């Protein structure tokens, strides 16, 4: 039951991070699009330039978020691998020190 709870907490936190980034990018694009369209509404090519600016900056923001999430997931995977190795190597009951703390809080 303890390992299941730990994995579920990690999975839910990762899903929450991804959803928060997706929603923040959507809100960013809406805010920037509104600001640009209000500034360039009188210019003939204004709306098309606004579309390009919003698309490029939104894509750049998503790229940065993906790179940050990739580094975070690498760190989490490394830590989980080390916890599993510590549990098999030193303790007969299994589980590392941090995993034991998480398991006690989940029960």
Q: Enter the DSSP assignment of 34.
A: H
Quickly state the pLDDT bin for 92 (edges 50, 70, 90).
Answer: very low
**Average pLDDT in the chain:** 76
Q: Please give the residue that has the higher pLDDT: either 76 or 104.
A: 76
Q: Is the pLDDT of residue 31 over 70?
A: yes
pTM surpassing 0.75?
Answer: no
- What pLDDT sits at residue 101? 59
Per-position b or e across 27-39, b if 16+ CB within 10 A of its CB? eebeebbeebeee
Q: How does pLDDT run across 59-79, given as a tens digit for each residue? A: 888 889 888 888 888 887 787
């Amino acid at each position: 039951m303890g390992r299941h709870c730990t994995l579920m907490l990690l999975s839910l936190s990762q899903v929450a991070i991804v959803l928060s980034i997706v929603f923040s990018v959507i809100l960013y694009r809406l805010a920037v699009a509104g600001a640009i369209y209000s500034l360039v509404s009188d210019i003939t090519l204004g709306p098309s330039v606004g579309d390009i600016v919003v698309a490029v900056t939104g894509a750049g923001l998503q790229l940065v978020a993906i790179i940050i999430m990739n580094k975070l997931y690498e760190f989490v995977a490394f830590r989980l691998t080390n916890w599993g190795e510590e549990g098999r190597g030193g303790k007969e009951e299994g589980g590392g020190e941090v995993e034991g703390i998480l398991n006690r809080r989940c029960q």
